[in-house]
Amino acid sequence: MSKIWKLDNDIDTDIILPTEYLAFETVQEMKPYAFSPLRPDLAGQIKPGDMIVAGNNFGCGSSREQAPEVVKALGISCIVAKSFARIFFRNAINNGLLLIEQPDLYDEVNEGDEAEVIPGKEIIVNGKHYPIANLPDNLTEILEAGGLVKAMRKRNGLD
């Protein structure tokens, strides 16, 4: 079971990680500042295995890949949103962060609810079952490889 943190529509990449912190050498250093313009305490509250539920257009804005990297580093297991901005979507998959589009969940759950995610099938919250779709094959391959870096290492005969 994953605890739900609920965020709004149009959560942009400047909220997920402000420009001020982009040049830190490691994602670990960036972690405390995730979501800081909107909810300065959130990064400290998230526990590994938690999930984020959001509205439309999650991750809109810049192409900064630090955004999905920092979310993953916080231990977020997946993000369920009504829709995702496309660069964020690609970046998340390339980092092995699971994103799920689901039209109804956001309107019916509350922060703090517990959810069970069965990839490719459904999400169960408060006893209700929300169906979810499969990713396209090429993305599933990247996810299954554990991200694009690992996929490329394999291609280059390293792993």
Partner 1 sequence: MGHTLIEKIIGNKVGHEVKPGDIVTVDVDWCMIDDIMVPFAVQKFQEMGFKKVAKPDSVVLIYDHFLPATQVDDTRHFRVGDEFAEKYGIKNVHRTDGICHQLMTEAGYVKPGDIAFGTDSHTTTYGCVGAFSTGIGYTEMAGILGTGQLWIKVPETIKVEIDGTLPGNVTSKDIILTIIGDLTASGATYQAIEFTGSTVDAMSVASRMTMSNMSVEAGAKCGVFAPDEKTCDYCKIPYDDKIKNLRSDNDASYSRILRYRAEDFKPVCACPSLVDNIKPVSELKGTKVDQVFLGSCTNGRLEDLRAAATILKGKHVAEFVKLIVTPASRKVYREALADGTLEILSKAGAIITTPGCGLCCGRGGGILTDDEVVVATNNRNFLGRMGTSKVKIYLASPVTAAATAIAGEIKEG
CA 104 vs CA 19, 66, 73, 126: distances in Å: 32, 28, 27, 14
Q: Reduce the secondary structure of 51-82 to three states and give it as a string.
A: EEEECCCECECCCCCHHHHHHHHCCCCEEEEC
Whichever of 5 and 84 has its CB closer to partner 1, that residue is: 84
Minimum distance from residue 130 beta carbon to partner 1 (Å): 21
Rounded Cα gap, residues 119 and 37, in angstroms: 31
CA 41 vs CA 5, 33, 80: distances in Å: 12, 9, 21
Whichever of 53 and 115 has its CB closer to partner 1, that residue is: 53
For residue 135, state whether it binds partner 1 (rule: CB under 8 A).
no
Whichever of 111 and 141 has its CB closer to partner 1, that residue is: 141
For residue 101, state whether it binds partner 1 (rule: CB under 8 A).
no
Among 25, 107, 112, 127, binds partner 1 (CB under 8 A): 25
Applying CB under 8 A, the residues found at the interface with partner 1 are 10, 12, 14-15, 18-20, 22-23, 25, 36-38, 56-57, 60-66, 68, 83-87, 90-91, 94-95, 136, 138, 147-149, 152-153, 156-158
